[in-house]
Chains A and B, each alone.
Chain A
Amino acid sequence: MQDIIKLSQLVEQIQETIQTQFDNEVFWISARIMDVKKYETNRRCYLKLEEYENGIKTTEIRAVFWANYYHEIEKFEKVIKQPFKDGTEIICKVKVRFHKVYGLNLDVMQIDVAHTLGILELERQQTLEKLLKENPKTIQLFDGVYKTYNNRLQLPLVIENIALITAPNSDGQRDFQQEIKRNKHDYTFSVTEFLTTIQGDTAHKLILEQLNLIEKNKQRFDVVAIVRGGGSQTDFKPFDDYELSKCVANFSIPIFTGIGHDRNQSTVDLMAREQKTPTKVASLFIEHNFEFENSLIDLKTRLADAVKEGLENAKDELGHAKRIVKLSSPQAILNRGFAIIMSNNKIVVDPKTIKENSQLQTLLKDETIYSTVTKKTKNENRLNI
C-alpha cells in the first residue's frame, strides 16, 4: 500500500509549487469578466475570468479585486462610463495566488482602461459606418458632421408641445421640468412625459417603444427631448445602439438629447440635436421662443416706424399740395407781375375770341386797365421774359 499523506500536505505541496513557479510574478492577460459581485462597503469584488473560442468556453478561473485595488473598478467605470459588468472584455494585470482553503485565484491589480475604451470606440465607429451605409438617403456625413433627416427638420417658430422621454423620478426629469417651469419670460409649454428606464441592457428597446408611442400622436408634439442626467455617469451603451440611432435619424419630429456626458458623443446624439444636459435642452427651447418674440418685437418696431413715416409722408405731400395751390392762386400770379386779361367779365383763355375793337380789362396787382384792341398779331417766337 502506498504511503498516505494528509490533504494539507498535498495542498501545501501544490501551494509550494505554485509559489515557486510564479513567485509573485505579475501577468497582463486578456479575458471576459463574468459573475461580477461587487461589495462596495468592504471594497471587494469577486468575479470569474473567462475565455471563449468559437462561442465555447475554454478557460475559467476565479479572480478577486481586494480593497487596495478596488479603485481600479471605480476608475474603469468613471472613464468608460459603463458599469463594470458581466460580458465585458478587459485586459488586466494579475498575480497568481493559492490559498489552502479558498484554492486558486487571480488577484487583479490593474485594468487597462484604454483597451476597453478602444473596443467601445471601435464598436461605436462600426455602428456609425453601418448607419451611413444602410441609410444613405437620411444619414449623411459632411465635414465630420452627421446630417440626418431628423436633425435637418425645420423647427416650428414657437416650441410649445414637448414629448419628454426620461426616467421616472430621475435628476434629468427634475432638472428639465424645473428649467421649463421657471422660465423668466413666462412662456407656456406643455410637457408630456414618456417615462421609461434609460439605463441597462434593454434601455434602447424601451426608448424605442416610447418613440413609437410618440410617433402615433405626432400631431400633438413640436419636439421630443430625450434626457438623463446627474447621478450615475455609467452606462451610455443604449445611446450607441444601431436600431435606436436609426429610429432617431428617421424620426419625423425634431429630437433633442441631453444625456449628460463629456466623452465622445453617442451615436444617438449625432443623429439628433445634441445638448449636454437636460437643463440645456430646456433652456434651448426657452431661447428659441425668445428669438421668436424678439423678431416679433422687431416687426412691431418696423410697423410703428412705417406707420409714422407713412403719416409724415402724407403730411409732407399735403403741405406740398397746399404750397402749389397757394402759388397757383390768381392773386399770387398778379403779385408776381403777371396780368389777367378779361373780356365781358370772363378771363380770356383763348385769344381767338378777341377781335379788333374788343373791350378788354387788364387786371394787374393793384389796378385794372381798360383798353380797346387796335391790332392783333401772332407771336413769332415764344416770349422770352
Chain B
Amino acid sequence: MKTDLTYSDAYSKLEELVEQLEEGNIPLDKLSLKVKQANELISICENKLRNIQTEVNETIKAVTKRQKKKGSG
C-alpha cells in the first residue's frame, strides 16, 4: 500500500473497504489481505490524531542534540 496516502484518503478507503466487507463482496481468499489493508488504513488515521511519527522524530532530534552537546562539551 502507498505510504504517502493522506489520512483523509485513507479514511475514505477504509469506509469503502468496510462497506464492501459488509456487503459480502470480498471473496474468502482475499479477506486476510483486505483486513491487513484495513489495519494499515486505520494506523494512518490514528497516527494523524496523535502524530506518533512526529513525536518519534522529535525525540530522535532531541536525543541527537543532547549527544552532540555531550560530545562537544
Q: How far is the CA of A187 from the CA of B46 in the complex (A)?
A: 10
Q: Are B7 and A157 in contact (CB under 8 A)?
A: yes
| A84: min CB distance to chain B, Å | 48
Q: Are B8 and A156 in contact (CB under 8 A)?
A: yes
Q: Which of B21, B38, B51 contacts A160 (CB 8 A)?
A: B51
| B6: min CB distance to chain A, Å | 10
| B26: min CB distance to chain A, Å | 7
Q: Are B42 and A300 in contact (CB under 8 A)?
A: yes
Q: Are A310 and B7 in contact (CB under 8 A)?
A: no
State the interface size on chain B (CB cutoff 8 A). Answer: 24
Q: Are A310 and B49 in contact (CB under 8 A)?
A: no
Q: Are B49 and A307 in contact (CB under 8 A)?
A: no
Main SS of chain B's interface residues? helix
Q: Are B24 and A188 in contact (CB under 8 A)?
A: no
Chain A residues positioned under 8 Å from B14 (CB to CB): 296, 299, 303
User: A362 interface residue, CB < 8 Å from B?
Assistant: no
Q: Are A188 and B51 in contact (CB under 8 A)?
A: yes
Q: How far is the CA of A185 from the CA of B28 in the complex (A)?
A: 37
User: B22 interface residue, CB < 8 Å from A?
Assistant: yes
Chain B residues positioned under 8 Å from A293 (CB to CB): 46, 49
Q: Are A307 and B8 in contact (CB under 8 A)?
A: no
Main SS of chain A's interface residues? helix
Given A188-B54, A303-B35, the answer on whether A158 and B22 have CB atoms closer than 8 Å is no
Given A188-B54, A296-B42, A300-B42, the answer on whether A307 and B15 have CB atoms closer than 8 Å is no
| B29: min CB distance to chain A, Å | 10
- From 144 to 177 in chain A, residues with beta carbon under 8 angstroms from any chain B beta carbon are 156-158, 160
Scoring A186, A187, A299, A309 by chain B CB atoms within 10 A of each residue's CB, the highest score goes to A299
User: A27 interface residue, CB < 8 Å from B?
Assistant: no
User: A311 interface residue, CB < 8 Å from B?
Assistant: yes
User: B55 interface residue, CB < 8 Å from A?
Assistant: yes
User: B2 interface residue, CB < 8 Å from A?
Assistant: no
State the interface size on chain A (CB cutoff 8 A). Answer: 24
Chain A residues positioned under 8 Å from B54 (CB to CB): 188
| B11: min CB distance to chain A, Å | 6
User: A199 interface residue, CB < 8 Å from B?
Assistant: no
Q: Which of A186, A302, A307 contacts B50 (CB 8 A)?
A: A186
Nearest CB in chain A to that of B8: its residue: A157
User: A370 interface residue, CB < 8 Å from B?
Assistant: no
User: B65 interface residue, CB < 8 Å from A?
Assistant: no
Chain A residues positioned under 8 Å from B21 (CB to CB): 303, 306-307, 310
Q: Are B22 and A302 in contact (CB under 8 A)?
A: yes
Chain B residues positioned under 8 Å from A188 (CB to CB): 49-51, 54-55
Q: How far is the CA of A107 from the CA of B68 in the complex (A)?
A: 72
Contact with A along B30-72 (1 / 0, CB 8 A): 0100010010001001101111001100000000000000000
Q: Which of B31, B35, B45, B55 contacts A296 (CB 8 A)?
A: B45
Q: Are B49 and A187 in contact (CB under 8 A)?
A: yes
Known: A296-B42, A303-B17, A303-B35. 6 other contacts (CB 8 A): A157-B8, A157-B11, A296-B11, A302-B22, A309-B24, A314-B28
Cross-chain pairs A/B with CB under 8 angstroms, 26 sampled: A157-B7, A157-B8, A158-B7, A158-B49, A160-B48, A185-B49, A186-B50, A188-B49, A188-B50, A292-B49, A293-B46, A296-B11, A296-B14, A296-B42, A296-B45, A299-B18, A299-B42, A302-B18, A302-B22, A303-B14, A303-B17, A303-B38, A310-B26, A310-B28, A311-B31, A314-B28
5 A-B pairs closest in CB distance: A188-B51, A306-B21, A306-B22, A314-B28, A302-B18
